[in-house]
Amino acid sequence: MVTTTTAAASSSDAQEPSSETFMLENEDHTLANALRFFLNKNPHVEFCGYSSPHPADDVVNVRIQTTGEISAAEALRQACRSCQEVCAHVNTCFKDAVARKHASMSQ
Amino acid sequence: MSCNRAASVWRLAVKYSICKRSSRPRPASQEPVTLGPEAHKSAQGFSASSIGMPRKKARQSDGGATASAYVKSEDEGDDDAQPEPTDRPTLPHHLQVQHDYMVAGEHLNYNTSTVTSALAYLGLGIDNQWDLDEFKRAFRAEVAWISKDTATSEEDMEFDLQGIDPAIANAFRRILLAEVPTMAIEHVFIINNTSIIPDEMLAHRLGLIPIKADAALFQENAAADVGTENNCIIFKLKADCKKRVPSGTIVNDSVFSRQLVWLPKGSEIPDETKCKFSGTQHSLMPEGCAPVHDDILIAKLRPGQGFEVECVATKGNGAEHAKWSPVATAWYRLLPEVALLDDITGADAEELAEKLPGLFTLDKSGAAVVGSARDFPQLHEKVRALANEERWRDRMQLRKRKDHFIFTVQSTGILPPDELFIRSVDELSAKCGRLLERL
């Protein structure tokens, strides 16, 4: 699902590079745009953008350049976790709202 | 060269003086407001007479079930709202308005983008980075209405999500349309077809019939070679149109979706369909399985015509074909607001109340009071046109909150709309989970 191309000469396991392009396969604007939002909200991310190379290709390229404090992969991991936390909160709040509505409708 | 430099220094000086001037203390009614989702609710800077909808007054003029539900959530919000810490740096008023609102101009909308960069307000000493606690404090979900049409078992729903970025809201919407799986007829085996409808058109029409089955019970038929009781649902449809001999009445001239017969034990022609069940599907779907609507017209026949087909429904999603989309449609709009930028009194106020009945009312002193714009959607274009006339330009505005989404979800009836939205939220989370596993 994820393959990366690195701007740096080589990516060793010891140290992840600070600039990377992640190819997300079987994903589109839905996930890429949401992740871009969280990545832009990260002060350690110097640049973040994504593109869909071709509308017929089921792939998006997410480019991340960090200021060096964290690696690009770490920034992406943080964005994923933030997105999951938001989803969990939206899920509970929405269920509460539906329960409130059903309670008020049955009265 | 030196001359140019002198000129640029002079220009800088002018710019600087403009900056200095604009950052001078403002009149009390235009105090800078606190950045944060509660900012628009905290009274300072948005006093009813200067900018922003006079919310207390708006509430008085609200009517109807939708409005009262919405206002209720606002009241709750007011109760929860803690006084903002005074030492927090604040955004200047004009930037706060840009941050919160999109403004409807004469020919195009202004301030349509959201400010997402963590460092956007660095120069003002304001942190714009992601803060989960801040999000949780600001986020609100409220259901406006749920309607169920008992005749068709279709369900619609409208709900508000406040304090969320369009990137996330749009992801939910896109997943609702294209990535919440359902079951739909994918393969049609034509045993006989003497009707005027070509085989492929008949198959297409059958594919679009919503099937009342929870796709979560089934697996994707990835290999697409062998159908089992865990990845497909099989129906047969046999229709023959005849003319009764003595009376001359024609029977079966219309074929409806109710004539689809569920085959829980699997295909009757397994060698053709390559669907081999090892047991029945009764335990999977104890209440049976049928189309959502029983009165969908599939074909019209004349005496002597007929067809016999077997249909295999598989699991899929709307990204592959719209027949798998669980919604008729799902969309959102931003919360509209009509803002008074100035006190409007006397003849002007009366004129507004006359031109925009209901939305504008007069208080005891004869001043214009603006109601909830959400309740008067038919007046929005009129407000937009008026607000861009010279006379009203600096006095009122049609604008929309950029972080308040009013979702409408129209289910096809396979699953209730609240369940669909929950699934779309969970799917976004699952996407992130799958990505995390690979990083």
In a domain? residue A61 = yes
Q: What is the pLDDT of residue B246?
A: 87
State the total domains in chain A: 1
d(CA A66, CA A8): 13
In a domain? residue A2 = no
Q: What is the pLDDT of residue B153?
A: 60
* DSSP secondary structure letters along A27-46: --HHHHHHHHHHHHT-TTEE
Q: What is the pLDDT of residue A42?
A: 96
CA dihedral in degrees (B415, B418, B423, B424; nearest 10)?
A: 110
Q: What is the pLDDT of residue A9?
A: 38
3-state secondary structure of A3: strand
Nearest Cα residue to B183 out of B408, B412, B426, B410: B412
The domain in which residue A65 lies consists of: 7-106
3-state secondary structure of A27: coil
> What residues contact A20, with CB distance under 8 A and at least 6 apart?
A4, A5, A6, A7, A11, A63, A64, A71, A72, A73
Instruction: Give mean pLDDT, residues B92-98.
Output: 92
DSSP label of B357: B
Q: What is the pLDDT of residue B184?
A: 96
CA dihedral in degrees (B206, B212, B218, B219; nearest 10)?
A: 40
Q: Which residues in chain A are contacts of B143 at CB distance < 8 A?
A: 97-98, 100-101
B250 class by beta-carbon count within 10 Å (0-12 exposed, 13-18 middle, 19+ buried): middle
- Interface check for B139 against chain A (CB to CB < 8 A): the answer is yes
Instruction: Give mean pLDDT, residues B87-104.
Output: 88
Residue B193's DSSP bridge partners are: B307
Are B159 and A2 an interchain contact pair (Cβ–Cβ within 8 Å)?
no
Q: What is the pLDDT of residue B20?
A: 31
B374: closest CA of chain A, how far (Å): 19
Q: Which amino acid is at B384?
A: R
Nearest to A101 among B118, B143, B174 (CB): B143
Are A82 and B171 an interchain contact pair (Cβ–Cβ within 8 Å)?
no
Q: Which residues in chain B are contacts of A67 at CB distance < 8 A?
A: none
Q: What is the pLDDT of residue B353?
A: 93
What number is the ipTM of this complex? 0.91
Q: What is the pLDDT of residue B220?
A: 87
Q: What is the pLDDT of residue A107?
A: 78
Nearest to B167 among A28, A33, A43 (CB): A33
Q: Domain extents for chain B?
A: 2-178+405-438, 182-325
d(CA B97, CA B89): 16
Instruction: Give mean pLDDT, residues A33-48.
Output: 96
B312: closest CA of chain A, how far (Å): 26
Q: Mean pLDDT across chain B, nearest whole number?
A: 82
Are B118 and A29 an interchain contact pair (Cβ–Cβ within 8 Å)?
no
B251 sits in which H/E element: strand B250-251
Q: What is the pLDDT of residues B295-336, one digit of tens each?
A: 999 999 999 999 999 999 999 999 999 999 999 999 999 999
Is 50 exceeded by the pLDDT of residue B37? no
Q: Categorize the per-residue pLDDT at B202 as very low, low, confident or very high, splitting at 50, 70 and 90.
A: very high
Neighbours of B52 (CB within 10 A): 22
Q: pTM of the full predicted structure?
A: 0.81
Are A27 and B431 an interchain contact pair (Cβ–Cβ within 8 Å)?
yes
Is 80 exceeded by the pLDDT of residue B382? yes
DSSP label of B81: P
Q: What is the pLDDT of residue B149?
A: 72
Q: Which residue of A has its CA nearest to B147?
A: A105
B144 sits in which H/E element: strand B140-149
- Interface check for A96 against chain B (CB to CB < 8 A): the answer is yes
Q: Categorize the per-residue pLDDT at B222 as very low, low, confident or very high, splitting at 50, 70 and 90.
A: low
Pick B182-325's CATH classification: 2.170.120.12, 3.30.450.20, 3.30.70.3420, 3.40.640.10.
2.170.120.12
A2: closest CA of chain B, how far (Å): 6
Greater confidence (B14 vs B353) lies with B353
Residue B333's DSSP bridge partners are: B406
Q: Categorize the per-residue pLDDT at A105 as very low, low, confident or very high, splitting at 50, 70 and 90.
A: confident
- Interface check for A93 against chain B (CB to CB < 8 A): the answer is yes
Are B432 and A80 an interchain contact pair (Cβ–Cβ within 8 Å)?
yes
Tokens 């996330």 belong to which residue?
A: B168
Q: How many CA atoms lie within 13 A of B42 on its CB side?
A: 20
Is 70 exceeded by the pLDDT of residue B6? no
Nearest to B135 among A1, A86, A98 (CB): A86
| CATH code for position A75 | 3.30.1360.10
Greater confidence (B13 vs A17) lies with A17
Q: What is the pLDDT of residues B125-148, one digit of tens each?
A: 899 999 999 999 999 999 999 987
In a domain? residue A29 = yes
